[in-house]
Chains A and B, each alone.
Chain A
């Protein structure tokens, strides 16, 4: 059984600071990892994905993957109030055809 664990929060971060969101997973066969952002009442939006150990940067977002320790993290630099949302971690073990397994999400609040 694939499991993805996230702290539900809320995680409160002051505006302009770095928000750090973490995710652990149980399936060592997991190949790709995804971060989605979901605003209240809306559907999830893909932020970025990572499949190699190390860091991957995209604008203010950095994803970090450590397969040996089975964790993925998302850093948001220069946090803005508009970053307040629920962040979902997801993984893919099947190469893309059989859907993603999602964590329950971390609720992030950026305080002005």
Chain B
């Protein structure tokens, strides 16, 4: 069974803080992704990575960065959190035609 885990289910941060969201997968998948999901806007791709130390911008990368130092771990970084980054953040990993999501982190920025 593929397992994608995320470091926190719920997180509350203050405006201007640096925020780290961690994602780990245990199936040796090369491709990993970060999405955010907002009511009325659906799932939107922030960043993705197809190999260690490789990263590509998705559709909405502004205000975010990522890090992939090990194959199993993909981190999303909010350099200076803002209230418009309050959202559900979903990590996913993929092999072939199967993309699996982690449980999500609901981030609130106050």
A residues lining the B interface (CB < 8 Å)? 32, 34, 42-46, 49, 51, 88, 92, 96-105
Contacts and interface: CB of A to CB of B under 8 A. Distances in A.
B97 A102 contact: no
Contact of A43 (B50, B56, B97, B101): B101
Given A96-B31, A96-B97, A102-B43, 13 more contacts: A42-B103, A43-B103, A44-B90, A46-B98, A49-B98, A88-B43, A96-B94, A97-B50, A98-B56, A101-B45, A104-B40, A104-B42, A105-B42
B64 interface: no
A45 B102 CA distance: 10
17 contacts: A42-B103, A44-B43, A44-B101, A45-B101, A49-B97, A88-B43, A92-B97, A97-B31, A97-B48, A98-B48, A98-B50, A99-B33, A99-B35, A99-B48, A100-B45, A102-B44, A104-B42
Contacts, number: 49
Most chain B CB neighbours (cut-off 10 Å) among A43, A92, A98: A43
Contact of A100 (B50, B99, B103): B99
Nearest to A51: B97
Q: Is the interface of A mostly helix, strand, loop or mixed?
A: loop
Contacts of A49: 97-98
A25 B72 CA distance: 32
Nearest to A44: B101
